[in-house]
Amino acid sequence: MDNLAHSLVGLTAAKAGLGRLSPFATTVCILAANSPDADVAVGFFADRWTLLKHHRGITHSIVGTLTLAIVLPVLFYLIERGVSHFFKRESRIRLRGLVIASLITTATHPILDWTNNYGIRPYLPWDRHWVYGDLTFVVDPYLWLILGGAAFLLTSNHRVKIAGWIVLVLGIMALMFFADGQRAAGGASLWPIRLIWISGALLFVLARVLNVGSRFGQRIAIAAFGVVLLYWGGLAIAHHFAFKSAMVQAESIITPLNEKAIKTAAMPTLGNPRRWLCVVETERAIYRFSVNLGSPKPFEPSPWPDSDPYRMPNNPHFERFPKPTGPAAELVEKAEQDRRAQILLDFSRFPIATVADNNCLTQTLVQFADVRYTQPGAARGSFSLDVPVDCPAESGKQ
């Protein structure tokens, strides 16, 4: 998840009661909720491939999370004690309270990151296996609204704080209205998200005017976490049906091609619990398509056209990416020796490789992509790579 969501979790947890455990506990809650993302510091000293290798690595594992949850409050404790000693005043900090607050809020970070399709590796350093929740999009505006609204009601007790919340909300609204044009991933309109967000923000403003925060106190924060759990439960049910629909639709296509599914995923899209991005891998290809829950079957299966190996004419959103064979597979095997390719393949859940020119004379490009995020052959992104490789000597003689 994004760091705004993590920060709101930490702040809301503090207002739910953890902030009372010790002075500085609120600050520790917010920092601890973000602390596993300390691995992004690698990006300041190395290239983006090294960052990709280490992001959501050891700091997001069980061992790393526990370590960070202890180290952060101990640092606060030692610094505060040192400052108090220097100014000859009594220390007010309570280490046990800070540790409890840090343990709880640090644990929320890998849990939130698990819910999306990027995944985490919880068993590092012993096991590099990725696990995925596939419940929420990597950026979830509804989590911002639920947790941010609760935190707003419980912290908007000063003009400076109110001004800060106004700036944050305006920034989010600017992203919603001006980023990525008029449509979200998968072609869905952004307007439902915008309307829900505007309505929700206005309701929280009305609640602030009615002094709801002072009347209900920490129960608002606890209720916000309850709403989040209910939201996740609803998404889990939607994911179940989306996955079943993905299997049915995939079977109707791959069975006539004598292929069998070896891996399937139904992944959330931005702000639309009805639309799910589905990816199916067989021994010969990877398929990508969307499922809309509650909609009639979007197409009838038909033979795959030889003219376009990537798209069906009666459903242009149903894509097929064939795996390389023959000479192309040999070129891919050579490209896989590249350090960057090894990192990308280790990260990728649905990796595919394509060769720019199978009949090359001197050199060609092997294009790697993770089908979750990037279409092979499309403009290069964070989860794709072009590797130049030398053509086989016999290829140049033909």
Q: How many CB atoms lie within 10 A of CB 396?
A: 11
Q: Which residues pair with 97 in a beta bridge?
A: none
Q: With contact defined as beta carbons under 8 Å apart, do 290 and 186 qualify?
A: yes
pLDDT in tens, the chain (398 residues): 899 999 999 999 999 999 999 999 999 999 999 999 999 998 888 888 999 999 999 999 999 999 999 999 999 999 999 998 888 888 889 999 999 999 999 999 999 999 999 999 999 999 999 999 999 999 999 999 999 999 999 999 889 999 999 999 988 888 877 755 444 444 556 778 888 988 999 999 999 999 999 999 999 999 999 999 999 999 999 999 999 999 998 888 888 888 999 999 999 998 889 999 999 999 999 999 989 888 765 555 555 554 455 555 445 568 889 999 888 898 999 999 999 999 999 999 999 999 887 677 788 889 999 999 887 765 566 788 999 998 876 544 43
> At residue 109, what is the residue type?
H
Nearest of 347, 351, 384, 371 to residue 128 by alpha carbon: 347
Q: How far apart are CA 205 and CA 169, in angstroms?
A: 11
Listing from the earlier edge strand, what are the strands of the sheet with 315-322? 261-269, 272-282, 285-292, 315-322, 311-312
In angstroms, the CA 335 to CA 341 distance is 7
**CB-count exposure of residue 85 (10 Å: 0-12, 13-18, 19+):** exposed
Residue 263, strand partner residues: 281
